[in-house]
Amino acid sequence: MSAKTLDDLFHETLKDIYYAERQILKALPKMARGAQSDKLRDAFLKHREETQTHIERLQQVFELIGKNPRGKTCHAIDGIIEEGEEILDAFKGTPALDAGLVAAAQAVEHYEIARYGTLRQWAEMLGMKDAAKLLDQTLEEEATTDELLTEIARTESNKTAAQAA
């Protein structure tokens, strides 16, 4: 068995987040349809557009490292998305639905932030300046989305859910 390198780990993690982004792209319209707040619905739809851009950037990173864009099953994101779908079903039509959707979306964002932060750091360590720049752009957008979700939770969804309690 040959020794695995940071290059190998970078490539495997890149495949993981590529799969995750494609799954997120599929899940966001369902989350948007389920949202009761216009602000939350708009945030999901905006993030869907950004997610398409994230996928395109990942394809550029694959190209930079001379690999075909290919995902590998990410059980973590599958589980996080499944939890979001469970919230949609269990809390449909209730005052707590949007609070649950925000929480589920933030779990996705935090996963993405962890992956992109790691990949950016590894790209820098490996001298992949162009890849690091692309990954950093996406990392910043994911952090901005997380901040927006926090604001929606603080000003809308959590208050609505708490008032109904």
Mean pLDDT on 37-50 = 97
Enclosing H/E stretch for 113: helix 97-125
> Both tokens of residue 117?
């932060």
pLDDT digits (tens, 9 = 90+) for 103-139: 999 999 999 999 999 999 999 999 999 999 999 999 9
Q: For position 6, what pLDDT does the model report?
A: 96
CB atoms within 10 A of CB 14: 25
* CATH class of the 6-163 domain in this structure: mainly alpha
Domain positions in the chain: 6-163
Mean of per-residue pLDDT scores for the chain: 96
- Residues 90, 137 contacting (CB under 8 angstroms): no
User: Is the pTM of the predicted complex or chain greater than 0.85?
Assistant: yes
Tokens of 110: 């935090």
Which residues of the chain form beta strands (DSSP E)? Answer: none
Supply 16's token pair. 């993981």
Q: Band of the pLDDT at 2, cuts 50, 70, 90?
A: confident
